[in-house]
Amino acid sequence: MSEQTACETCVNFVYDDEYEYYVCDLNLDEDDMVRFLTGNTRGCPYYQLYDEYKVVRHQM
């Protein structure tokens, strides 16, 4: 089983039908893009946990 990267659990990591793979949906500046492409996403300032049950918990 492979390790899960931070991007895989981020709400901004979406599937692009045109390219047929997952991409970061943010407009990154040059420094952030280099970090993303080199795999250094550990300290991504734009990371937001994808939590599909967040709304449900809020309604309870």
Residues 43 and 7 sit within 8 Å (Cβ to Cβ): no
Taking residues 5-29, report their average pLDDT: 88
CB 17 within 8 A of CB 57: no
The Cα 58–Cα 36 span in angstroms is 32
Query: Under a CB-based contact definition with an 8 Å cutoff, are residues 10 and 47 in contact?
Result: yes
Give the span between the Cα atoms of 39 and 35, in whole angstroms: 6
DSSP class per residue in 39-50: T--TT-TT--B-
pLDDT single digits (tens) 26-60: 888 898 888 777 877 667 778 888 877 766 666 66
